[in-house]
Every structure is written in structure tokens, then in C-alpha cells.
A = this chain, B = another copy of it.
Amino acid sequence: MIILKIGGSILTNKDSKTSEVDAVSLKRIASEIKKSLDSSDKELIIVHGAGSFGHPPAKKHRIGEDFDKSQYPIKRLGFCEIQNEVKKLNMYICEEFIKQGIPTIAIPASSFITAANKRITNGNLDLFKNYLHKGFVPVIYGDVVLDDDLEFCVISGDQIIQYLAVNLNPEKVILGTDVDGVYNKNPKTHDDALFFDKFSSLKDLDTLEGTTNVDVTGGMVGKIKELLYLADLGIESKIINAEVEDNIFKVLENKKVKGTVISRGN
């Protein structure tokens, strides 16, 4: 089984003030996945970010922060707004995937997951596994969920990857982002940025500064923390650049692709 995350930054235009799908990227990525499914049988789960659909309303409503009880109804409505916006992005993504022949079935986190203090504590994956075994490609995405401590919280696609990987034990976890992998500095603004082929320790995090990929769910640093936790369990993951044509296809087919492997091994 492979868990493939596709970053919201690849699928949407984050610079746009309104939520907007990047139709060209979406079409290309769908075709690379389809080509891989046609090349060899595999169980595949897709996780996608919320991109420009989810982040602006999540920021606006400050979901996941403490709030006064009097704010409850307005927070609740904000929660609903975010749920519907990320569903809209998911609907566009599934539409393109299905059009290209990928049997994608959406299973929103808000339908079966709950959290405590922003971490997933509960989420029965039986139906998820059932779809998977029947050859569907389950799709799940960054979403809002009920939180025992904070009432409401945002669950990033990266946290979902971690939860799925811990519980489903995939052979491979792939994160398609808008950079080649992990650098010690932002490679888009620093010519001397060093690239990590492999990343294995939280200590390495100290050398990192913000990357281009900073979002409300933590950007690259957040991603690495989730993935190091998986590495501790012996699950290796790889961050690649999904904007480079054929990278998704190649990595799904075990072909060589530039990227950063997150692993505790040597």
C-alpha cells in the first residue's frame, strides 16, 4: 500500500485571493497517477491539502485557538464554512480523477475522526480499508474535526498521513510538494541553500528556517515532525517535487526521483 500526499500548494493557487484550482497541475497529476495504476497493481491512498480553499477561512475563524464561550456560535459557523470549502476543493479533485478513470472515493476526516488538543484520537478505519481492498482509491484531506479540548480544530493533511500510516502500515509514504525536498534554507531565496538527501533527526530541524511552503498547519517543519514520528516506527517517507513532470509517476513506480528521504536508519 502507498500513501500519496499531494500538497494544497500544487493543486490550488495560494496567491489567489479567491479559492482557485490549478487545473493544469491537477490534470497532469491525475494522468501520472492513472499511468502508474495502469502500469502495475497497487493499493493507493491519496491525501490532499486544503490549499487556498481551506487556509484563508481557517485563518479568518482562528479555529484551534482558545475562544470565549460567547463566540461559540460564530466559531461553529466558521467550522462549517471551512468544512464546505475543503469539500469543494475535494469535489473538483475527484471530478478530474474520476474523469481520467481513477476510482476515487472521498472519505472526509470530519465524518469519522475526532481529536483532543489538535491531535487525532479517534477514527475507525474499517470502512476505509474496505474501500481500499475493493480497489477504490480512498481520498482524504485536510479538514476540521471536533476536538475534546478545544471544541474545534484543523487537522492537516500531514497529520492525516501520519495517522493513516501508523494504523495501516504502508510500504511507502510519499509527499508531493512544491520544492525538491528539504533544504537548510529557503532555496528560492538562498543560492547557498543545502539540500538533504536524507533527514533523520529533530536536531537537523534547528538549521531550518521557513521555507516557501509555510502555511497555517506548519509548512515544512510541521511535515518533517509528522514524518520523523513515522520514521521512529520504521515507516520511511519521501518528500518530492510534484511540480516536476513525471515525478509522481516515477516515484509510484519505484524509479529514481530527487527528494528527501525521512528515515531513522543510516
Contacts and interface: CB of A to CB of B under 8 A. Distances in A.
Interface string A77-104: 1011101100110110011001001011
A80 B111 CA distance: 17
Nearest to A109: B111
B106 A76 contact: no
Interface stretch (A127-135, A175-183, A212-220): A127-135
Contact of A112 (B73, B90, B95, B111): B111
Contact of A103 (B76, B112, B124, B130): B76
Interface residues of A, number: 36
A87 B84 contact: no
Contacts of A103: 73, 76-77, 79-80
Nearest to A128: B111
Nearest to A76: B103
Interface of A is mostly: helix
Interface of A: 72-73, 76-77, 79-81, 83-84, 87-88, 90-91, 94-95, 98, 101, 103-108, 110-112, 114, 124, 127, 130-131, 134-136, 146, 151
Given A77-B98, A83-B105, A111-B111, 15 more contacts: A73-B103, A76-B134, A79-B103, A80-B136, A83-B94, A84-B91, A84-B104, A87-B90, A87-B106, A88-B91, A88-B95, A105-B110, A106-B108, A107-B111, A108-B108
